[in-house]
């Protein structure tokens, strides 16, 4: 059981791990050791709350496929254990991002003094432009 936040948890059965070879230049073990990992999560079938599922599915993220599968590729580190922890942390951050409620925006009004200053500046600017006109004879 992966505990993400109070009230939000993922069952171990929801996560699928696949060991792969890391990309990029390597050293002696580049073609022998599968230290990178793919973490797959089927969002629709997961045990996440419904509002988080909807948020994840509505995100414009290239890691989420059209069928609702999230794939996180972890290959930053040389060991599989560190890559596993890295993938879980990135998954946790993504889910926490969707679990936050957006603050409701409270519209504000400009003060009377700022409205008066704005109108005075507009009047002055208009007067300056009026003086630039060619006089009518």
With a cut of 90, say whether residue 111 has pLDDT above it. yes
Answer yes or no: is 82 within a domain.
yes
Model pTM greater than 0.75?
no
Q: What is the residue range of 10's domain?
A: 2-99
Answer yes or no: is 43 within a domain.
yes
Q: How many whole angstroms separate alpha carbon 69 and alpha carbon 5?
A: 21
CATH assignment at residue 22: 3.30.160.20
Answer yes or no: is 64 within a domain.
yes
39: nearest Cα among 80, 8, 4: 80
Answer yes or no: is 44 within a domain.
yes
Number of Cβ atoms within 10 Å of the Cβ of 121: 10
CA 14 to each of CA 4, 95, 127, 131: distance values in angstroms, whole numbers, following the listed order: 14, 14, 70, 74
**Residue of 109 and 1 predicted with greater confidence:** 109
Number of Cβ atoms within 10 Å of the Cβ of 116: 11
In the prediction, which pLDDT does 116 show? 97
CA 7 to centroid of chain Cα atoms = 21
Answer yes or no: is 126 within a domain.
no
3-state secondary structure of 119: helix
Answer yes or no: is 119 within a domain.
no
Domain total in the chain: 1
Answer yes or no: is 24 within a domain.
yes
Answer yes or no: is 62 within a domain.
yes
Mean pLDDT, the chain, whole residue set:
85
How do residues 41-94 score in pLDDT, each as one tens digit? 888 888 888 888 888 888 888 888 888 888 988 888 888 899 989 999 999 898
């Amino acid at each position: 059981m992966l505990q993400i936040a109070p009230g939000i948890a993922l069952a171990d059965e929801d996560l699928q791990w696949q060991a792969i070879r890391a990309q990029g230049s390597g050293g002696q073990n580049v073609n022998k050791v599968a230290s990178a990992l793919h973490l797959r999560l089927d969002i629709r079938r997961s045990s996440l709350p419904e509002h988080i599922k909807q948020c994840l599915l509505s995100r414009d993220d290239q890691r989420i496929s059209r069928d609702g599968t999230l794939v996180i590729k972890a290959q930053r580190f040389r060991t599989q254990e560190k890559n596993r922890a890295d993938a879980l942390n990135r998954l946790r951050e993504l889910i926490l991002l969707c679990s936050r409620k957006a603050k409701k925006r409270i519209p504000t009004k400009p003060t009377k003094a700022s409205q008066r200053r704005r109108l005075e500046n507009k009047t002055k600017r208009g007067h300056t432009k009026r003086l630039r006109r060619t006089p009518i004879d």
